[in-house]
């Protein structure tokens, strides 16, 4: 009976050791944002675990005290108990052999090895791995028992916490108790994505913040005005010709190009510079834009938007010329393009109010072929795949493999695309019908 009680005690001590190890690693590994969400959902255990993270040093001291007590007790109880079971077996097995005399020593060694294995596997490694893989769940399960243990040994735990802090100060470590690292971008993104608010303004704000996180890592080519859509002006054009182009397009800035066209960008001219010149010399409309243009800012099309935006702010420029691998102009990126990526479409009094998707009836739509794939999928709840293209026109050109003519059609899933307008080789407008 006594041996059975001792074996039960060994099992309990191994479990207790594993509990404190799991609690320690779970509290350190658990994401505070996730615990707070569980608490808001009504979990009292998560609320308690979250508060424990606010006083982390104290509860780590509690876990260490529990581990130490359980380990010492395990060593005191387990080795003699298991040794007492092994020694008679060894004496019987080694009876009438020369090493029978050291059976007691062998029993102690085997008992030590068995207890050490149980302690490492069941009392340390398994709980540790489990806690690291499911830190929030383990934190919840451990919260109430750990809090009870903390209250029972409160005075001793506070002493250990104080002594630890004093020891750290000797080495110049002065972090306050319960210190935490700042939440990661992934934590913030997770909080935003799982927010349950249905308020329209909060949804818009949440979407804008998520866009900010995605924004900086995207390539500039993803927000550029592509080369075929860029309006340029010759360096020999006069201010009078500039005003005509300005009135025609509504754009306020233009790349100034030489005789070789878009691959010969000489600079950038803005409406502001031209108007200032005309204010100072109202009758002079023969001055060429090359005399008023500013230096162009060239960057590779693969440059990250976050870095590009910082450079543009530092150089006080609002337009960048994006260059492809061959040195030709791939397109342009403007401050307005980049702000619209975060805030959504911005329009002023010079912008033409033309929707990319205009419904004809419940199943038929007129679509701007230069509409981006992600925007098209969102607007029409479609599933066009991503690929080596940015626009609906690019997707269709890849599917056709040739330059289409007005009236050509293509069916993808439950959508029929019909080319309704082309400007030169460029697909300008489509009719999209849901089948």
Give pLDDT tens digits for 230-286.
899 999 999 999 999 998 888 889 999 998 888 899 999 999 999 999 988 888 888
Q: Which is more confidently placed, 195 or 154?
A: 154
Cα 260 to Cα 253: distance, rounded to the nearest angstrom? 20
Query: What CATH number corresponds to the domain at position 338?
Result: 3.10.580.10
Q: Which is more confidently placed, 181 or 295?
A: 295
* Element (DSSP H or E) covering residue 205: helix 200-215
Residue 352 has pLDDT above 70, yes or no: no
The dihedral of CA 261, 267, 270, 276: what is its sign? negative
Residue 101 pLDDT: 54
Could you give the number of structural domains in the chain?
3
Residue 288 pLDDT: 92
Cα 50 to Cα 40: distance, rounded to the nearest angstrom? 11
26 with 130, same domain: the answer is yes
What are the tens digits of pLDDT across the range 21-44?
999 999 988 888 788 888 888 889
Cα 140 to Cα 405: distance, rounded to the nearest angstrom? 64
283 with 367, same domain: the answer is no
Mean pLDDT lowest among 82-91, 366-375, 388-397: 82-91
- pTM of the model as a whole: 0.46
DSSP symbol at 346: -
> Minimal CA–CA distance to 67: which of 101, 133, 17, 103?
17
Query: What CATH number corresponds to the domain at position 392?
Result: 3.30.465.10
Mean pLDDT lowest among 107-111, 304-308, 344-348: 344-348
210 is a domain residue: no
200 is a domain residue: no
Question: For 300, how many CA atoms within 13 A lie in the half-sphere containing its CB?
Answer: 7
> Where does the pLDDT of residue 296 fall: very low under 50, low under 70, confident under 90, or very high at 90 and above?
very high
42 with 10, same domain: the answer is yes
Residue with tokens 């052999």: 97
Instruction: Report angle CA 39, 41, 47 to the nearest 5 degrees.
Output: 10
277 with 406, same domain: the answer is no
At 429, list the tokens.
């407008």
Residue 177 pLDDT: 46
* Element (DSSP H or E) covering residue 416: strand 415-423
187 is a domain residue: no
Residue 121 has pLDDT above 80, yes or no: yes
Mean of the per-residue pLDDT values for the chain?
Answer: 82
Residues 6+ apart with CB under 8 A from 370: 226, 229, 391, 392, 393, 428
Distances (CA, A) of 210 to 25, 62, 178, 203, 233: 31, 39, 29, 11, 37
What are the tens digits of pLDDT across the range 192-242?
555 555 555 556 666 666 556 666 677 888 888 888 888 999 999 999 999
At 79, list the tokens.
């080795």
Burial of 49 (0-12, 13-18, 19+ CB in 10 A): buried
Helix, coil or strand: residue 350:
coil
Residue 175 has pLDDT above 60, yes or no: no
Pair 419, 399: CB distance under 8 Å: no
105, 136, 170: which is the final residue of a domain? 170
Which residues span the domain enclosing 226?
A: 220-343
> Where does the pLDDT of residue 3 fall: very low under 50, low under 70, confident under 90, or very high at 90 and above?
confident
330 with 372, same domain: the answer is no
170, 188, 212: which is the final residue of a domain? 170
23 with 162, same domain: the answer is yes
Residue 112 pLDDT: 80
Cα 340 to Cα 333: distance, rounded to the nearest angstrom? 12
């Amino acid at each position: 009976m006594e041996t059975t009680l001792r074996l039960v005690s060994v099992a309990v001590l191994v479990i207790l050791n594993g509990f404190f190890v799991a609690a320690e690693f779970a509290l350190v590994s658990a994401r505070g944002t996730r615990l707070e969400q569980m608490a808001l959902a009504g979990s009292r255990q998560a609320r308690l675990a979250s508060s424990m993270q606010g006083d982390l040093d104290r509860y780590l001291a509690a876990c260490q005290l529990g581990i130490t007590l359980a380990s010492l007790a395990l060593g005191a109880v387990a080795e003699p108990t298991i040794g007492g079971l092994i020694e008679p077996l060894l004496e019987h097995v080694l009876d009438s052999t020369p090493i029978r005399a050291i059976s007691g020593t062998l029993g102690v060694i085997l008992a030590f090895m068995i207890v050490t294995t149980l302690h490492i596997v069941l009392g340390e490694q398994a709980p540790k791995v489990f806690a690291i893989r499911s830190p929030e769940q383990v934190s919840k399960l451990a919260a109430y028992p750990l809090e009870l243990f903390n209250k029972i040994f409160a005075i001793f735990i506070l002493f250990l916490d104080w002594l630890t802090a004093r020891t750290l100060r000797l080495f110049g470590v002065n972090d306050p108790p319960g210190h935490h690292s700042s939440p990661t971008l992934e934590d913030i993104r997770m909080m935003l994505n799982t927010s349950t608010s249905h308020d329209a303004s909060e949804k818009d704000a949440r979407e804008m913040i998520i866009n900010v996180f995605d924004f900086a890592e995207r390539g500039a080519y993803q927000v550029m005005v592509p080369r075929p859509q860029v309006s340029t002006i010759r360096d020999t054009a006069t201010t009078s010709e500039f005003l005509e182009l300005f009135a025609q397009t509504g754009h306020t800035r233009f790349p100034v190009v030489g005789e070789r066209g878009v691959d010969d960008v000489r600079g950038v001219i803005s409406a502001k510079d031209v108007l200032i010149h005309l204010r100072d010399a109202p009758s002079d409309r023969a001055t060429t834009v090359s005399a008023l243009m500013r230096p162009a800012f060239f960057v590779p099309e693969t440059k990250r938007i976050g870095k590009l935006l910082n450079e543009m702010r530092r150089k006080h420029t609002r337009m960048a010329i994006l260059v492809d691998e061959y040195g030709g102009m791939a397109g342009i990126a403007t401050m307005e393009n980049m702000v619209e990526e975060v805030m959504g479409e911005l329009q002023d009094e010079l912008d033409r109010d033309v929707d990319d998707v205009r419904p004809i009836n419940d199943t038929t739509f007129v679509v701007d072929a230069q509409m981006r794939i992600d925007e098209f999928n969102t607007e029409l709840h479609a599933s066009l795949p991503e690929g080596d293209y940015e626009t609906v026109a690019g997707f269709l050109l890849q599917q056709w493999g040739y330059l289409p003519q007005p009236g050509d059609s293509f069916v993808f899933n439950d959508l029929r695309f019909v080319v309704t307008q082309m400007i030169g080789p460029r697909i300008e407008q489509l009719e999209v019908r849901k089948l």
